[in-house]
Structure 1
Amino acid sequence: MSVIYVLLTISICVALVFFAAFVFSVKKGQYDDAYTPSIRMLFEDELVETKSDKNNQNKRQTK
């Protein structure tokens, strides 16, 4: 029965070490997205038309 207590204590200690390592790596930025910025230039940007752009296009079409 005492072996179960020892194993339980060791497993909780190991779990706490892994949790601390995870929290440390998140705070240091290990999980920030480093892949997407490098390929962002390969994708087309969506054009956003504003009201002034639409007004300028309408004026050009009426001339």
Structure 2
Amino acid sequence: MDILYLMIVCSVSLAVIFLIIFIIGAKNGQFEDDESPAVRMLFDSEIQKEEKEKQHQQQDDGNLKEENIDKL
């Protein structure tokens, strides 16, 4: 019978520990946005295209600056 009391105390203690961890996570914003990460992977190619366009624009701007310096 003593082991039964020990098991009850252990299981309740473990449940309280998990509850405390959950409350701390909820207060820190761990569970605020569950949907965006799943949808974000669908838009990955658009982000890469935008980054490539920005790189090309920066390279073009750099080439124009070099041409203007050569003309001076």
Tell me the TM-score range normalised by the shorter chain.
0.5 to 0.7
Q: Which amino acid aligns with 2:24?
A: F
Structure 1 unaligned regions, length at least 5: 43-63
When the two structures are superposed, what TM-score results if normalisation uses the length of structure 2? 0.48
SS in 1 for 2:14: helix
Structure 2 match to 1:24: 24
Q: List, as ranges, runs of 4+ consecutive aligned residues in structure 1 with deviation greater than 3 Å.
A: none
Structure 2 unaligned regions, length at least 5: 44-72
Structure 1 match to 2:7: 7
When the two structures are superposed, what TM-score results if normalisation uses the length of structure 1? 0.54
The alignment yields a C-alpha RMSD, in angstroms, of 2.2
- Equivalent pairs, count: 40
The alpha carbon displacement at 1:32 in A equals: 1.4
Of the two structures, which has the highest relative contact order with CA contacts closer than 8 Å and spacing of 6 or more?
1
The alpha carbon displacement at 1:33 in A equals: 0.9
Quick one: distance in 1 between partners of 2:14 and 2:23? 14
Quick one: distance in 1 between partners of 2:34 and 2:15? 28
